[in-house]
A and B are shown apart, each in its own frame.
Chain A
Amino acid sequence: AQSVTQLGSHVSVSEGALVLLRCNYSSSVPPYLFWYVQYPNQGLQLLLKYTSAATLVKGINDFEAEFKKSETSFHLTKPSAHMSDAAEYFCAVSDRDAGNMLTFGGGTRLMVKP
């Protein structure tokens, strides 16, 4: 089965600083990868997805992620953090061994300091 690891359950940045949230996957076949954001007491919202069309994927709210096959990574970045970015972020892979169901990483809580 495919798996996803998010390094750092909590990340804290200052407002205006670079945001970097790490995601590594394990997959024996080309993966389909997603980043979702969850605000408190809300459902998950798709930020972006990688489907092999381009290695640099741009998403909503100025987030982007780069697929690096050699590093089996799909890290999420944003050049300048806003207070409104404070949320839980989940990386997920579409698991072909599980009928294309999503396998989520453990999540990273992003805190933004004023």
Chain B
Amino acid sequence: DAMVIQNPRYQVTQFGKPVTLSCSQTLNHNVMYWYQQKSSQAPKLLFHYYDKDFNNEADTPDNFQSRRPNTSFCFLDIRSPGLGDAAMYLCATSRDRGVYNEQFFGPGTRLTVL
């Protein structure tokens, strides 16, 4: 089945230790998104790629970076995680950026910062 895969599902890191989260998709979609979701809150968009074009949300901290080496894969790098970065990180894809485009979500990676 075509899908969005996130690895690992659970990630524990230490305060200040860089961490990378991975997302892959078999849908061949043009757009890939990264969201941060804290407990009992709505997902918050960090950035998205439209093909190779990177689009950063204005309030996304510089601590968060992303890479998309090819259509299928996208990575979220947190350079120096703080306690406030503990959250669920969701990857999503859509065929295009049209107003009616459905986003398909992965299962998420829950990040714990010690």
Contact = CB atoms under 8 A, between A and B. Distances in A.
A92 B71 CA distance: 26
A46 B105 CA distance: 9
Interface residues of B, number: 25
Give chain B's interface secondary structure class.
loop
B90 A106 contact: no
B107 interface: yes
B41 A106 contact: yes
B97 A44 contact: no
Contacts of A106: 41-42
Contacts of B104: 46
A107 B41 contact: yes
How big is chain A's contact interface, by range?
20 to 34
Interface in A15-46: 32, 34, 36, 41-46
Interface of B: 4, 6, 40-43, 45, 48, 55, 88, 90, 92, 97-108, 110
12 contacts: A9-B40, A36-B105, A41-B88, A43-B6, A43-B105, A43-B107, A44-B103, A46-B104, A51-B100, A99-B97, A100-B98, A107-B40
Interface of A: 9, 32, 34, 36, 41-46, 49, 51, 90, 94, 96, 99-102, 104-107, 109
